[in-house]
Structure 1
Protein backbone atom coordinates (compact mmCIF):
# COMPACT_ATOMS: atom_id res chain seq x y z
CA UNK A 1 0.00 0.00 0.00
CA UNK A 2 1.35 3.40 -0.99
CA UNK A 3 0.72 5.98 1.77
CA UNK A 4 1.32 9.75 1.68
CA UNK A 5 1.38 12.19 4.59
CA UNK A 6 -0.23 15.62 4.64
CA UNK A 7 0.34 18.25 7.31
CA UNK A 8 -0.01 22.00 7.62
CA UNK A 9 2.54 24.79 7.59
CA UNK A 10 2.60 25.20 11.39
CA UNK A 11 4.58 21.94 11.73
CA UNK A 12 8.34 22.04 12.19
CA UNK A 13 9.80 19.23 10.09
CA UNK A 14 13.46 18.39 9.54
CA UNK A 15 14.73 19.30 6.10
CA UNK A 16 15.45 15.75 4.97
CA UNK A 17 11.78 14.94 5.53
CA UNK A 18 10.46 18.20 4.07
CA UNK A 19 12.03 17.44 0.72
CA UNK A 20 10.55 13.97 0.37
CA UNK A 21 7.99 13.44 -2.37
CA UNK A 22 5.50 11.64 -0.10
CA UNK A 23 4.99 14.73 2.12
CA UNK A 24 2.48 17.44 1.22
CA UNK A 25 2.20 20.64 3.28
CA UNK A 26 -0.98 22.75 3.35
CA UNK A 27 -0.19 26.48 3.78
CA UNK A 28 -2.32 28.18 6.44
CA UNK A 29 -3.68 31.64 5.51
CA UNK A 30 -2.83 34.70 7.62
CA UNK A 31 -4.65 38.02 7.20
CA UNK A 32 -2.83 41.26 8.03
CA UNK A 33 -4.70 44.51 7.33
CA UNK A 34 -7.00 42.76 4.83
CA UNK A 35 -4.05 41.29 2.93
CA UNK A 36 -4.08 37.47 2.77
CA UNK A 37 -0.73 35.71 3.04
CA UNK A 38 0.02 31.98 2.84
CA UNK A 39 2.45 30.79 5.49
CA UNK A 40 5.81 29.66 4.10
CA UNK A 41 4.81 30.72 0.59
CA UNK A 42 4.47 34.51 0.62
CA UNK A 43 5.09 35.20 4.30
CA UNK A 44 7.96 33.79 6.35
CA UNK A 45 9.47 34.26 9.79
CA UNK A 46 11.97 36.73 8.36
CA UNK A 47 10.18 40.04 8.21
CA UNK A 48 6.96 38.77 9.78
CA UNK A 49 7.37 40.48 13.16
CA UNK A 50 8.01 43.81 11.44
CA UNK A 51 4.64 43.38 9.73
CA UNK A 52 3.05 42.36 13.02
CA UNK A 53 4.32 45.46 14.83
CA UNK A 54 3.21 47.73 11.99
CA UNK A 55 -0.26 46.18 11.54
CA UNK A 56 -3.15 48.62 11.96
CA UNK A 57 -5.45 45.89 13.27
CA UNK A 58 -4.92 42.59 15.05
CA UNK A 59 -3.97 39.94 12.45
CA UNK A 60 -6.23 36.96 11.90
CA UNK A 61 -5.61 33.41 10.83
CA UNK A 62 -7.92 31.38 8.64
CA UNK A 63 -8.27 27.89 7.20
CA UNK A 64 -7.43 26.65 3.73
CA UNK A 65 -10.52 26.54 1.52
CA UNK A 66 -12.38 23.23 1.42
CA UNK A 67 -12.01 23.19 -2.37
CA UNK A 68 -8.24 23.40 -2.04
CA UNK A 69 -8.22 20.42 0.31
CA UNK A 70 -10.29 18.38 -2.16
CA UNK A 71 -7.88 19.32 -4.96
CA UNK A 72 -4.87 18.33 -2.87
CA UNK A 73 -6.23 14.90 -1.96
CA UNK A 74 -7.32 14.26 -5.55
CA UNK A 75 -3.84 15.22 -6.78
CA UNK A 76 -2.24 12.85 -4.27
CA UNK A 77 -4.57 10.10 -5.45
CA UNK A 78 -3.62 10.77 -9.06
CA UNK A 79 0.04 10.20 -8.12
CA UNK A 80 -0.73 6.60 -7.27
CA UNK A 81 -1.16 6.80 -3.51
CA UNK A 82 -3.80 4.60 -1.91
CA UNK A 83 -4.17 6.49 1.38
CA UNK A 84 -3.11 9.69 3.09
CA UNK A 85 -2.53 10.37 6.78
CA UNK A 86 -3.48 14.03 7.31
CA UNK A 87 -1.88 15.34 10.52
CA UNK A 88 -2.81 18.85 11.65
CA UNK A 89 -2.47 21.40 14.42
CA UNK A 90 -4.65 21.09 17.48
CA UNK A 91 -8.40 21.38 17.07
CA UNK A 92 -8.23 23.63 20.14
CA UNK A 93 -6.52 26.37 18.12
CA UNK A 94 -7.81 25.72 14.60
CA UNK A 95 -10.76 24.09 12.89
CA UNK A 96 -8.58 22.69 10.11
CA UNK A 97 -8.57 19.07 11.25
CA UNK A 98 -12.37 19.20 11.64
CA UNK A 99 -12.63 20.45 8.07
CA UNK A 100 -10.50 17.56 6.88
CA UNK A 101 -12.64 15.10 8.84
CA UNK A 102 -15.82 16.59 7.38
CA UNK A 103 -14.75 15.91 3.79
CA UNK A 104 -12.72 12.71 4.23
CA UNK A 105 -15.58 10.39 3.26
CA UNK A 106 -16.37 12.52 0.21
CA UNK A 107 -12.91 12.16 -1.33
CA UNK A 108 -13.23 9.29 -3.79
CA UNK A 109 -9.74 9.16 -5.29
CA UNK A 110 -7.93 8.22 -2.06
CA UNK A 111 -8.64 7.16 1.52
CA UNK A 112 -8.09 10.09 3.91
CA UNK A 113 -7.23 9.54 7.58
CA UNK A 114 -7.47 12.82 9.57
CA UNK A 115 -5.39 13.06 12.74
CA UNK A 116 -5.58 15.77 15.41
CA UNK A 117 -2.09 16.24 16.86
CA UNK A 118 -3.56 18.21 19.82
CA UNK A 119 -0.65 20.66 19.57
CA UNK A 120 1.63 22.06 16.83
CA UNK A 121 5.20 22.88 15.72
CA UNK A 122 8.02 20.51 16.71
CA UNK A 123 6.07 17.73 18.45
CA UNK A 124 3.55 17.67 15.58
CA UNK A 125 6.46 17.53 13.14
CA UNK A 126 7.84 14.51 14.98
CA UNK A 127 4.48 12.77 14.48
CA UNK A 128 4.71 13.58 10.77
CA UNK A 129 8.24 12.15 10.58
CA UNK A 130 7.23 8.94 12.37
CA UNK A 131 4.23 8.51 10.07
CA UNK A 132 6.47 9.00 7.03
CA UNK A 133 9.00 6.46 8.30
CA UNK A 134 6.27 3.87 8.87
CA UNK A 135 4.74 4.53 5.45
CA UNK A 136 8.12 4.26 3.70
CA UNK A 137 8.81 0.83 5.22
CA UNK A 138 5.79 -0.42 3.29
CA UNK A 139 4.47 -2.83 5.92
CA UNK A 140 2.24 -0.54 7.97
CA UNK A 141 -1.43 0.02 7.17
CA UNK A 142 -3.05 3.46 7.70
CA UNK A 143 -4.76 2.12 10.83
CA UNK A 144 -1.42 0.98 12.22
CA UNK A 145 0.08 4.43 11.61
CA UNK A 146 -2.87 6.20 13.24
CA UNK A 147 -2.59 3.83 16.23
CA UNK A 148 1.11 4.66 16.60
CA UNK A 149 0.39 8.41 16.38
CA UNK A 150 -2.32 8.04 19.02
CA UNK A 151 0.20 6.41 21.36
CA UNK A 152 2.67 9.22 20.71
CA UNK A 153 0.01 11.87 21.30
CA UNK A 154 -0.47 10.61 24.85
CA UNK A 155 3.15 11.48 25.62
CA UNK A 156 3.76 14.73 23.75
CA UNK A 157 3.86 18.00 25.69
CA UNK A 158 3.91 21.68 24.88
CA UNK A 159 4.89 24.26 27.53
CA UNK A 160 4.91 27.97 26.67
CA UNK A 161 6.12 31.17 28.32
CA UNK A 162 4.65 34.23 26.60
CA UNK A 163 5.86 37.80 26.92
CA UNK A 164 2.37 39.29 26.53
CA UNK A 165 -0.90 37.40 26.99
CA UNK A 166 -2.92 39.93 24.98
CA UNK A 167 -2.26 38.13 21.70
CA UNK A 168 -3.72 34.85 22.96
CA UNK A 169 -6.67 36.48 24.69
CA UNK A 170 -7.58 38.72 21.74
CA UNK A 171 -7.28 35.80 19.35
CA UNK A 172 -9.48 33.62 21.55
CA UNK A 173 -6.86 30.86 21.89
CA UNK A 174 -6.40 30.99 25.67
CA UNK A 175 -9.34 29.12 27.12
CA UNK A 176 -9.06 30.34 30.70
CA UNK A 177 -7.57 33.70 29.78
CA UNK A 178 -10.53 35.98 30.41
CA UNK A 179 -10.72 35.11 34.07
CA UNK A 180 -7.04 35.59 34.84
CA UNK A 181 -5.90 38.38 32.55
CA UNK A 182 -6.45 41.08 35.17
CA UNK A 183 -4.25 39.29 37.70
CA UNK A 184 -1.19 38.88 35.54
CA UNK A 185 0.48 42.26 35.80
CA UNK A 186 4.21 41.66 36.14
CA UNK A 187 3.64 37.90 36.12
CA UNK A 188 4.87 35.52 33.43
CA UNK A 189 2.40 32.68 33.01
CA UNK A 190 3.34 29.16 32.07
CA UNK A 191 0.87 27.86 29.52
CA UNK A 192 0.43 24.31 28.33
CA UNK A 193 -1.59 22.30 25.85
CA UNK A 194 -4.32 20.35 27.66
CA UNK A 195 -6.64 18.21 25.55
CA UNK A 196 -5.68 20.40 22.62
CA UNK A 197 -6.44 23.73 24.29
CA UNK A 198 -3.89 26.29 25.50
CA UNK A 199 -4.53 26.79 29.22
CA UNK A 200 -2.85 28.55 32.13
CA UNK A 201 -0.73 26.10 34.13
CA UNK A 202 1.24 28.24 36.59
CA UNK A 203 2.02 31.89 37.33
CA UNK A 204 5.67 32.85 37.89
CA UNK A 205 7.18 36.21 38.83
CA UNK A 206 9.72 36.56 36.00
CA UNK A 207 10.45 35.15 32.57
CA UNK A 208 13.77 33.71 33.77
CA UNK A 209 12.09 31.80 36.62
CA UNK A 210 9.23 30.73 34.35
CA UNK A 211 11.66 29.27 31.82
CA UNK A 212 13.57 27.44 34.56
CA UNK A 213 10.27 25.95 35.74
CA UNK A 214 9.37 24.90 32.18
CA UNK A 215 12.77 23.22 31.84
CA UNK A 216 12.15 21.35 35.09
CA UNK A 217 8.68 20.21 33.99
CA UNK A 218 9.98 19.07 30.61
CA UNK A 219 12.78 17.01 32.14
CA UNK A 220 10.95 15.55 35.12
CA UNK A 221 7.17 15.74 34.86
CA UNK A 222 6.12 14.69 31.36
CA UNK A 223 5.20 11.20 30.19
CA UNK A 224 7.92 10.96 27.52
CA UNK A 225 11.19 10.20 29.29
CA UNK A 226 14.24 12.36 28.41
CA UNK A 227 16.41 9.61 26.88
CA UNK A 228 13.57 8.52 24.61
CA UNK A 229 12.47 12.03 23.59
CA UNK A 230 13.21 14.83 21.20
CA UNK A 231 13.14 18.28 22.83
CA UNK A 232 12.16 21.31 20.78
CA UNK A 233 12.98 24.81 22.00
CA UNK A 234 10.60 26.91 19.94
CA UNK A 235 10.64 30.70 19.85
CA UNK A 236 8.96 33.76 18.39
CA UNK A 237 11.85 35.97 17.26
CA UNK A 238 13.76 35.23 20.47
CA UNK A 239 16.73 33.11 19.41
CA UNK A 240 19.01 34.36 22.17
CA UNK A 241 16.68 33.11 24.91
CA UNK A 242 16.06 29.86 23.03
CA UNK A 243 19.81 29.20 22.95
CA UNK A 244 20.01 29.80 26.70
CA UNK A 245 17.18 27.31 27.29
CA UNK A 246 18.91 24.73 25.08
CA UNK A 247 22.17 25.24 26.98
CA UNK A 248 20.37 24.79 30.30
CA UNK A 249 18.69 21.57 29.15
CA UNK A 250 21.97 20.10 27.94
CA UNK A 251 23.74 21.20 31.12
CA UNK A 252 21.20 19.21 33.14
CA UNK A 253 21.14 16.24 30.76
CA UNK A 254 24.01 16.27 28.25
CA UNK A 255 22.74 13.35 26.13
CA UNK A 256 19.45 15.04 25.16
CA UNK A 257 18.42 15.59 21.58
CA UNK A 258 17.53 19.31 21.58
CA UNK A 259 16.42 21.19 18.46
CA UNK A 260 15.90 24.96 18.25
CA UNK A 261 13.20 26.09 15.85
CA UNK A 262 10.86 29.00 15.14
CA UNK A 263 7.16 29.29 15.55
CA UNK A 264 5.94 30.33 12.12
CA UNK A 265 3.85 33.43 11.44
CA UNK A 266 0.50 31.72 12.12
CA UNK A 267 1.36 30.55 15.64
CA UNK A 268 3.49 33.65 16.21
CA UNK A 269 0.39 35.76 15.61
CA UNK A 270 -1.34 34.09 18.54
CA UNK A 271 1.59 33.82 20.95
CA UNK A 272 3.23 37.16 20.24
CA UNK A 273 6.86 38.15 19.84
CA UNK A 274 9.44 36.89 22.36
CA UNK A 275 7.43 33.83 23.41
CA UNK A 276 9.46 30.68 24.07
CA UNK A 277 8.22 27.11 24.37
CA UNK A 278 9.56 23.64 25.05
CA UNK A 279 7.95 20.80 23.15
CA UNK A 280 8.65 17.19 24.05
CA UNK A 281 7.85 14.19 21.87
CA UNK A 282 8.84 10.52 21.96
CA UNK A 283 11.37 9.68 19.27
CA UNK A 284 9.18 6.97 17.83
Structure 2
Protein backbone atom coordinates (compact mmCIF):
# COMPACT_ATOMS: atom_id res chain seq x y z
CA UNK A 1 0.00 0.00 0.00
CA UNK A 2 1.21 3.52 -0.88
CA UNK A 3 1.81 5.41 2.36
CA UNK A 4 2.62 8.67 0.61
CA UNK A 5 -0.94 9.90 -0.08
CA UNK A 6 -3.97 9.37 2.17
CA UNK A 7 -7.47 10.03 0.84
CA UNK A 8 -9.92 11.73 3.21
CA UNK A 9 -13.56 12.62 2.63
CA UNK A 10 -16.72 13.25 4.62
CA UNK A 11 -19.85 11.21 5.20
CA UNK A 12 -21.93 12.99 2.53
CA UNK A 13 -20.12 10.99 -0.17
CA UNK A 14 -22.28 8.10 1.11
CA UNK A 15 -19.70 5.53 0.10
CA UNK A 16 -20.47 2.12 1.64
CA UNK A 17 -18.22 1.19 4.56
CA UNK A 18 -16.94 -1.88 2.70
CA UNK A 19 -15.88 0.29 -0.24
CA UNK A 20 -14.11 2.77 2.03
CA UNK A 21 -12.24 -0.05 3.76
CA UNK A 22 -11.31 -1.74 0.48
CA UNK A 23 -9.92 1.51 -0.95
CA UNK A 24 -8.37 2.78 2.33
CA UNK A 25 -10.57 5.90 2.40
CA UNK A 26 -10.75 7.87 5.65
CA UNK A 27 -14.09 9.52 6.51
CA UNK A 28 -15.08 12.36 8.84
CA UNK A 29 -18.83 12.48 9.59
CA UNK A 30 -21.25 15.38 9.43
CA UNK A 31 -24.12 15.41 11.95
CA UNK A 32 -27.90 15.70 12.07
CA UNK A 33 -29.60 17.30 15.04
CA UNK A 34 -33.09 16.20 16.13
CA UNK A 35 -34.54 18.25 19.01
CA UNK A 36 -31.07 19.13 20.33
CA UNK A 37 -29.82 15.52 20.14
CA UNK A 38 -26.89 15.20 17.75
CA UNK A 39 -26.18 12.12 15.64
CA UNK A 40 -23.09 11.55 13.51
CA UNK A 41 -24.50 10.29 10.24
CA UNK A 42 -23.72 6.68 9.42
CA UNK A 43 -21.79 6.18 12.66
CA UNK A 44 -24.72 6.89 14.99
CA UNK A 45 -27.65 7.17 12.58
CA UNK A 46 -28.24 5.11 9.46
CA UNK A 47 -30.13 6.45 6.47
CA UNK A 48 -33.10 4.19 7.23
CA UNK A 49 -33.19 5.29 10.87
CA UNK A 50 -33.02 8.94 9.81
CA UNK A 51 -36.07 8.78 7.55
CA UNK A 52 -38.06 6.91 10.22
CA UNK A 53 -37.21 9.62 12.76
CA UNK A 54 -38.06 12.28 10.18
CA UNK A 55 -41.60 10.91 9.79
CA UNK A 56 -42.36 11.51 13.45
CA UNK A 57 -40.39 14.73 13.92
CA UNK A 58 -42.37 17.81 14.93
CA UNK A 59 -39.57 20.07 13.74
CA UNK A 60 -37.26 19.68 10.77
CA UNK A 61 -33.81 18.53 11.90
CA UNK A 62 -30.75 20.68 11.37
CA UNK A 63 -27.25 19.70 10.28
CA UNK A 64 -23.72 20.53 11.39
CA UNK A 65 -20.28 20.18 9.85
CA UNK A 66 -17.27 18.43 11.42
CA UNK A 67 -15.13 20.66 13.61
CA UNK A 68 -11.61 21.66 12.73
CA UNK A 69 -10.52 19.59 15.72
CA UNK A 70 -11.97 16.41 14.24
CA UNK A 71 -9.84 16.90 11.14
CA UNK A 72 -6.75 17.75 13.20
CA UNK A 73 -7.22 14.49 15.12
CA UNK A 74 -7.49 12.45 11.91
CA UNK A 75 -4.60 14.19 10.15
CA UNK A 76 -2.38 13.72 13.21
CA UNK A 77 -3.21 10.02 13.21
CA UNK A 78 -2.44 9.75 9.49
CA UNK A 79 0.97 11.34 10.09
CA UNK A 80 1.66 8.79 12.83
CA UNK A 81 0.73 6.03 10.38
CA UNK A 82 3.47 7.23 8.08
CA UNK A 83 1.58 9.30 5.53
CA UNK A 84 3.37 12.33 4.17
CA UNK A 85 0.55 13.84 2.10
CA UNK A 86 -3.25 13.97 2.20
CA UNK A 87 -5.82 14.73 -0.47
CA UNK A 88 -9.00 15.72 1.34
CA UNK A 89 -12.19 15.87 -0.78
CA UNK A 90 -15.47 17.27 0.48
CA UNK A 91 -18.98 18.34 -0.33
CA UNK A 92 -19.35 21.74 -1.93
CA UNK A 93 -17.99 24.67 0.02
CA UNK A 94 -21.04 26.53 -1.28
CA UNK A 95 -23.35 24.56 1.03
CA UNK A 96 -21.06 23.61 3.94
CA UNK A 97 -18.00 24.81 5.81
CA UNK A 98 -16.59 21.26 5.93
CA UNK A 99 -14.04 21.90 3.19
CA UNK A 100 -12.72 25.05 4.86
CA UNK A 101 -12.44 23.32 8.23
CA UNK A 102 -10.38 20.57 6.62
CA UNK A 103 -8.02 23.12 5.06
CA UNK A 104 -7.66 24.97 8.37
CA UNK A 105 -6.86 21.71 10.14
CA UNK A 106 -4.27 20.86 7.52
CA UNK A 107 -2.37 24.05 8.33
CA UNK A 108 -2.28 23.04 12.00
CA UNK A 109 -0.55 19.68 11.56
CA UNK A 110 3.19 19.94 11.02
CA UNK A 111 5.13 17.71 8.62
CA UNK A 112 2.01 16.70 6.71
CA UNK A 113 1.00 18.25 3.38
CA UNK A 114 -2.79 18.52 3.10
CA UNK A 115 -4.20 19.25 -0.35
CA UNK A 116 -7.88 20.17 -0.51
CA UNK A 117 -10.29 19.49 -3.35
CA UNK A 118 -13.69 21.20 -3.39
CA UNK A 119 -16.00 18.84 -5.27
CA UNK A 120 -18.62 21.62 -5.64
CA UNK A 121 -21.23 18.87 -5.27
CA UNK A 122 -22.41 16.19 -2.79
CA UNK A 123 -23.68 12.61 -2.37
CA UNK A 124 -22.32 9.82 -4.55
CA UNK A 125 -21.31 12.43 -7.12
CA UNK A 126 -18.71 13.40 -4.49
CA UNK A 127 -18.12 9.68 -4.08
CA UNK A 128 -17.09 9.46 -7.73
CA UNK A 129 -14.19 11.82 -7.04
CA UNK A 130 -13.22 10.05 -3.83
CA UNK A 131 -13.29 6.59 -5.34
CA UNK A 132 -11.05 7.52 -8.27
CA UNK A 133 -8.63 9.41 -6.02
CA UNK A 134 -8.34 6.37 -3.75
CA UNK A 135 -7.81 3.99 -6.65
CA UNK A 136 -5.01 6.20 -7.98
CA UNK A 137 -3.40 6.51 -4.53
CA UNK A 138 -3.38 2.74 -4.10
CA UNK A 139 -1.59 2.45 -7.46
CA UNK A 140 1.11 4.80 -6.20
CA UNK A 141 0.02 8.01 -7.93
CA UNK A 142 1.27 11.28 -6.52
CA UNK A 143 -0.81 14.29 -5.46
CA UNK A 144 -0.37 16.10 -8.79
CA UNK A 145 -1.63 13.14 -10.82
CA UNK A 146 -4.60 12.65 -8.48
CA UNK A 147 -5.64 16.32 -8.58
CA UNK A 148 -5.29 16.43 -12.37
CA UNK A 149 -7.64 13.48 -12.71
CA UNK A 150 -10.12 15.05 -10.30
CA UNK A 151 -10.28 18.17 -12.45
CA UNK A 152 -10.89 15.97 -15.51
CA UNK A 153 -13.82 14.33 -13.72
CA UNK A 154 -15.24 17.70 -12.71
CA UNK A 155 -15.24 18.81 -16.35
CA UNK A 156 -17.61 16.00 -17.38
CA UNK A 157 -19.59 15.39 -14.16
CA UNK A 158 -23.28 16.29 -14.07
CA UNK A 159 -25.97 15.75 -11.45
CA UNK A 160 -29.69 16.50 -11.43
CA UNK A 161 -32.12 15.93 -8.57
CA UNK A 162 -35.90 15.88 -8.41
CA UNK A 163 -37.53 17.01 -5.17
CA UNK A 164 -40.67 15.01 -4.45
CA UNK A 165 -42.06 16.90 -1.47
CA UNK A 166 -42.49 20.67 -1.81
CA UNK A 167 -43.90 20.74 1.71
CA UNK A 168 -40.54 19.61 3.02
CA UNK A 169 -38.78 22.50 1.28
CA UNK A 170 -41.39 24.85 2.73
CA UNK A 171 -40.83 23.55 6.26
CA UNK A 172 -37.13 24.17 5.86
CA UNK A 173 -37.70 27.77 4.86
CA UNK A 174 -36.59 27.26 1.26
CA UNK A 175 -40.06 27.76 -0.26
CA UNK A 176 -42.67 30.42 0.53
CA UNK A 177 -46.29 29.61 1.33
CA UNK A 178 -47.39 31.03 -2.02
CA UNK A 179 -44.82 28.97 -3.92
CA UNK A 180 -45.95 25.89 -2.00
CA UNK A 181 -49.61 26.46 -2.91
CA UNK A 182 -48.91 27.09 -6.59
CA UNK A 183 -46.45 24.22 -6.79
CA UNK A 184 -48.91 21.75 -5.29
CA UNK A 185 -51.75 22.95 -7.52
CA UNK A 186 -49.63 22.57 -10.64
CA UNK A 187 -47.97 19.35 -9.42
CA UNK A 188 -44.57 20.95 -9.96
CA UNK A 189 -41.51 18.77 -9.37
CA UNK A 190 -38.45 21.05 -9.36
CA UNK A 191 -35.29 19.71 -10.96
CA UNK A 192 -32.25 20.99 -9.10
CA UNK A 193 -28.55 21.01 -9.92
CA UNK A 194 -25.31 22.57 -8.71
CA UNK A 195 -24.00 25.82 -10.19
CA UNK A 196 -20.84 27.36 -8.73
CA UNK A 197 -21.13 24.97 -5.80
CA UNK A 198 -24.69 25.92 -4.84
CA UNK A 199 -27.98 24.07 -5.31
CA UNK A 200 -30.19 26.03 -7.71
CA UNK A 201 -33.30 25.27 -9.81
CA UNK A 202 -32.62 23.86 -13.26
CA UNK A 203 -36.21 23.53 -14.49
CA UNK A 204 -39.70 23.38 -13.03
CA UNK A 205 -41.46 20.36 -14.49
CA UNK A 206 -45.03 19.21 -13.97
CA UNK A 207 -45.32 15.64 -12.64
CA UNK A 208 -42.63 13.28 -11.47
CA UNK A 209 -42.62 11.28 -14.70
CA UNK A 210 -41.84 14.36 -16.78
CA UNK A 211 -39.09 15.37 -14.36
CA UNK A 212 -37.42 11.94 -14.56
CA UNK A 213 -37.83 11.85 -18.34
CA UNK A 214 -36.14 15.24 -18.58
CA UNK A 215 -33.16 14.07 -16.49
CA UNK A 216 -32.89 10.93 -18.64
CA UNK A 217 -32.91 13.13 -21.73
CA UNK A 218 -29.95 15.07 -20.34
CA UNK A 219 -28.17 11.79 -19.57
CA UNK A 220 -28.85 10.53 -23.08
CA UNK A 221 -27.20 13.58 -24.63
CA UNK A 222 -23.89 12.64 -23.01
CA UNK A 223 -24.14 8.86 -23.28
CA UNK A 224 -24.71 9.11 -27.02
CA UNK A 225 -21.26 10.68 -27.33
CA UNK A 226 -17.97 8.79 -27.33
CA UNK A 227 -16.57 7.15 -24.22
CA UNK A 228 -17.75 5.12 -21.26
CA UNK A 229 -19.56 6.65 -18.29
CA UNK A 230 -20.07 6.02 -14.59
CA UNK A 231 -23.67 6.61 -13.50
CA UNK A 232 -25.35 6.63 -10.11
CA UNK A 233 -29.06 6.70 -9.35
CA UNK A 234 -29.61 8.37 -5.98
CA UNK A 235 -32.77 8.05 -3.93
CA UNK A 236 -34.37 9.02 -0.63
CA UNK A 237 -36.27 5.91 0.48
CA UNK A 238 -37.28 5.04 -3.10
CA UNK A 239 -35.39 1.76 -3.63
CA UNK A 240 -37.87 0.29 -6.11
CA UNK A 241 -37.92 3.42 -8.26
CA UNK A 242 -34.12 3.62 -8.14
CA UNK A 243 -33.73 -0.04 -9.10
CA UNK A 244 -36.08 0.44 -12.06
CA UNK A 245 -34.23 3.53 -13.25
CA UNK A 246 -30.89 1.77 -12.97
CA UNK A 247 -32.22 -1.25 -14.85
CA UNK A 248 -33.57 0.95 -17.65
CA UNK A 249 -30.25 2.78 -17.99
CA UNK A 250 -28.29 -0.48 -18.09
CA UNK A 251 -30.63 -1.89 -20.72
CA UNK A 252 -30.48 1.18 -22.97
CA UNK A 253 -26.76 1.90 -22.63
CA UNK A 254 -25.25 -1.44 -21.62
CA UNK A 255 -22.08 -1.00 -23.64
CA UNK A 256 -21.19 2.46 -22.33
CA UNK A 257 -22.19 2.65 -18.66
CA UNK A 258 -21.50 1.28 -15.21
CA UNK A 259 -24.45 2.00 -12.90
CA UNK A 260 -24.61 1.97 -9.10
CA UNK A 261 -27.44 2.90 -6.73
CA UNK A 262 -26.83 5.29 -3.86
CA UNK A 263 -28.82 7.29 -1.31
CA UNK A 264 -29.56 10.79 -0.12
CA UNK A 265 -28.33 10.17 3.41
CA UNK A 266 -29.33 12.03 6.56
CA UNK A 267 -27.51 15.34 6.05
CA UNK A 268 -28.52 15.84 2.42
CA UNK A 269 -31.92 14.22 3.05
CA UNK A 270 -32.59 16.91 5.66
CA UNK A 271 -32.49 19.51 2.88
CA UNK A 272 -34.08 17.59 -0.01
CA UNK A 273 -36.66 15.49 1.82
CA UNK A 274 -37.94 11.94 1.37
CA UNK A 275 -38.99 10.71 -2.05
CA UNK A 276 -36.29 12.63 -3.91
CA UNK A 277 -34.55 11.02 -6.87
CA UNK A 278 -31.42 11.99 -8.74
CA UNK A 279 -28.98 10.86 -11.40
CA UNK A 280 -25.31 11.78 -11.66
CA UNK A 281 -22.71 10.76 -14.21
CA UNK A 282 -19.20 11.44 -15.50
CA UNK A 283 -16.92 10.19 -18.26
CA UNK A 284 -14.40 7.49 -17.40
CA UNK A 285 -10.74 7.98 -18.19
CA UNK A 286 -9.73 6.71 -21.62
CA UNK A 287 -7.87 3.42 -21.47
**Does the CA contact (< 8 Å) of 1:85 and 1:112 recur in 2?**
yes
Name the counterpart of 2:183: 184
**Does the CA contact (< 8 Å) of 1:29 and 1:38 recur in 2?**
yes
* Distance change in 2, residues 1:166/1:195 (3 Å): farther
Task: Kindly provide the CA deviation profile for residues 253-274 of structure 1, in whole angstroms up to 9, marking residues without a partner as x.
Answer: 2332111121211111111000
TM-score by length of 1: 0.90
Alpha-carbon shift at residue 100 of structure 1 (Å): 1.5
Say how many residue pairs are matched.
279
Q: How far apart, in 2, do the equivalents of 1:225 and 1:105 lie?
A: 43
TM-score by length of 2: 0.89
Question: Any stretches of 5+ residues in structure 1 without a counterpart?
Answer: none
Task: Kindly provide the CA deviation profile for residues 99-143 of structure 1, in whole angstroms up to 9, marking residues without a partner as x.
Answer: 2223322221411111111111222112111111211122x3212
Within-5 A mapping of 1:1-284? 2-13=4-15, 17-20=19-22, 22-138=24-140, 140-168=141-169, 171=172, 181=179, 183-185=182-184, 186-221=187-222, 227-255=227-255, 256-284=257-285
Q: Give the CA RMSD over aligned residues.
A: 2.3
Report the 3-state secondary structure (helix = DSSP H, G, I; strand = E; otherwise coil) of the residue aligned with 1:75: helix
Task: Kindly provide the CA deviation profile for residues 227-272 of structure 1, in whole angstroms up to 9, marking residues without a partner as x.
Answer: 4211100000011111222233234323321111212111111110
**Does the CA contact (< 8 Å) of 1:189 and 1:204 recur in 2?**
yes
> 4+ residue stretches of structure 1 with deviation over 3 A?
14-17, 165-172, 177-183, 224-227
Question: Any stretches of 5+ residues in structure 2 without a counterpart?
Answer: none
* Distance change in 2, residues 1:280/1:100 (3 Å): same
* Distance change in 2, residues 1:98/1:258 (3 Å): same
Alpha-carbon shift at residue 15 of structure 1 (Å): 5.7
Task: Kindly provide the CA deviation profile for residues 149-208 of structure 1, in whole angstroms up to 9, marking residues without a partner as x.
Answer: 122112111100111234446557x6xx66993552321111111121111111111001
**Does the CA contact (< 8 Å) of 1:9 and 1:25 recur in 2?**
yes
